[in-house]
Structure 1
Amino acid sequence: MMKITPKILVYIDGTEEALTAMRYAVYMAKIHQMELYGIHVINTKALNDLVNAKIFLQMEQAEYLNDMQADAHKHLDELIHLAERKGVPVHPLIEEGDVYKEVMHAIKQEQVDILVLGELSPIRTRRDDQHNDMERLVRNAPCSIFLVKDKKRVNHLYSSI
């Protein structure tokens, strides 16, 4: 019988919460011998919405997209660095589009077992609650979800391996 290696996907968006989630995902991958994936979604849907609302000009859109692509590589490089220090290989994924749709697609495409997310930000308005991509992922992802909290403890666990 062939052994199946569980897959873990960590969503990276450049926030402090995502950094904590990355450390915990590396810890889990190392301790439980899981295959680690990291995904950063360049939110071109939001960017297009800003252009359509005439908040950004077309020229500014291209410049901002370049900045977003550079940030995506920087954030995934940070995950790769954290994982390499602990001997954990990473499959980095950079996608463009709607965050919710792209993460859901990656979960299905890679047959992910656990999605790791940083702690959710507080809900400011009812509208935020309905449209928050992370909230939608928690509610609708076809795999188990792990919300990472307690940065101090996570840093201790990461350092322990």
Structure 2
Amino acid sequence: MSALITDIVVAISGSDASINAAKYSILLAKSYNCRVTAVYVVDTATLRQLLLTKIFIEEESHEYEESLKANGQRYLQYVRSLAEEKGVEIHTELRSGAIYTEVLKAAEERNAQLILLGGWEIRRDQRDSISVAHREILHHARCSVLIVKERDVDALFKRA
């Protein structure tokens, strides 16, 4: 009998909720011996929209995109260090495009059986943009999607 879950994709946004989802994915990988890919998406789709509506000029858009890439690398490195701490191998990817499209592509490319998303944020500005991507992922995913809302992820992570 093959394993129910062999590949997990976890979406990283830098929010506390997405870091909790990453910790949860590491715990799952450790418990069930599955592979994990952490994906951070630079939302160039929204940046293009801001440029088209003249909210950003070209130079501002480019600078902001570079800043988002640097943040993404930093968050992915942090997730890598969390996995190393628990002896779990993790693959990380920095992608550009629409968040939901790129997360779904990553899951399909790996034939993932599970996508992990962080629970919703308290701050409204983060919650709105992330919840749109979450809804699209939930609607279009070809595999199961788990919203991590576990409040004690840190305690579980420390004990593992």
**TM-score normalised by L of structure 2:** 0.89
- Tell me the amino acid that sits aligned with residue 29 of structure 1: A
Q: How does 1:1-161 map to 2 (within 5 A)?
A: 6-121=6-121, 132-151=132-151, 153-161=152-160
Superposed CA offset, 1:27-74 (max 9, x none): 111111110110001000000111111111111111111101101101
User: How big is the alpha-carbon RMSD for the aligned residues of Structure 1 and Structure 2?
Assistant: 2.1
Q: Which runs of 5+ in 2 are unaligned?
A: none
> Alpha carbons of 1:69 and 1:96: their partners in 2 closer, same or farther (altered >3 Å)?
same
> Alpha carbons of 1:3 and 1:149: their partners in 2 closer, same or farther (altered >3 Å)?
closer
**TM-score normalised by L of structure 1:** 0.89
1-structure distance, mates of 2:52, 2:111: 35
Count matched residues: 155
Superposed CA offset, 1:70-113 (max 9, x none): 01101101110100000001111111011111111111111111
Q: Which runs of 5+ in 1 are unaligned?
A: none
The list of structure 1 runs, each at least 4 consecutive aligned residues, that deviate by more than 3 angstroms after superposition, is: 1-5
